[in-house]
Amino acid sequence: MSELILKNHAPGRDGLVHRVTPASAGWTYVGFDLWRLHQGQSFDLPTGEEEWCIVLLSGRCDIAVAEGPVWQGVGGRMDPFSALPHSVYVPWHRQVRVEALGPAEVAVCKAPGGGEHMPRLIGPDDVRTSTRGQGTNTRYPRDILPEDQPAHSLLVVEV
């Protein structure tokens, strides 16, 4: 685990900043991508055997799921500290397109997919918040995709 220290750097031409896979991290299941997109920039990728939760860290995006819904103007917060997130759950075996409506930072959380779950928007009102610890150890977890919500194996929490 100590080998997995990612240094912040500029995004590639496609907007990808980091891609953590189970193989690159030495993990068994989960993965994570971080994208920094400028206005009009997009990525269009298949989920394959994974299910995804796309979390808007900042900015706004249009998000389309093939054979499913299109959500326009998802997001809007300035950064993870200023408001609760907007997210989109995408099941396995789907094609997804994310297009930035201005500067945007997008996290894609990944885990093995399965089942017959439907794509869905997870708005700020759907995010559960709590407080853990005290003093300088106080943390504010935000349950974006908790274990009691429809998904095969993915859990997503922002702290």
pLDDT over 90, % of the chain: 94
Does the pLDDT of residue 4 top 80, yes or no? no
- What global pTM score does this model have? 0.95
Give ∠ CA 154-155-157 in degrees, rounded to 5.
145
Average pLDDT, stretch 104-128?
A: 98
Average pLDDT, stretch 95-108?
A: 98
Domain ranges of the chain: 16-158
Domain at 16-158, CATH homologous superfamily: Jelly Rolls (2.60.120.10)
Does the pLDDT of residue 18 top 80, yes or no? yes
pLDDT band at residue 8, thresholds of 50, 70 and 90?
confident
Mean pLDDT of the chain: 95
**3-state class (DSSP) for residue 135:** helix
pLDDT over 70, % of the chain: 98
Average pLDDT, stretch 121-150?
A: 97
Can you say whether the dihedral through the CA atoms of 102, 79, 52, 118 is positive or negative? negative
Backbone torsion region of residue 100, taken as left when φ is above 0, otherwise alpha when ψ lies between -120 and 50, otherwise beta = beta
Average pLDDT, stretch 2-26?
A: 89
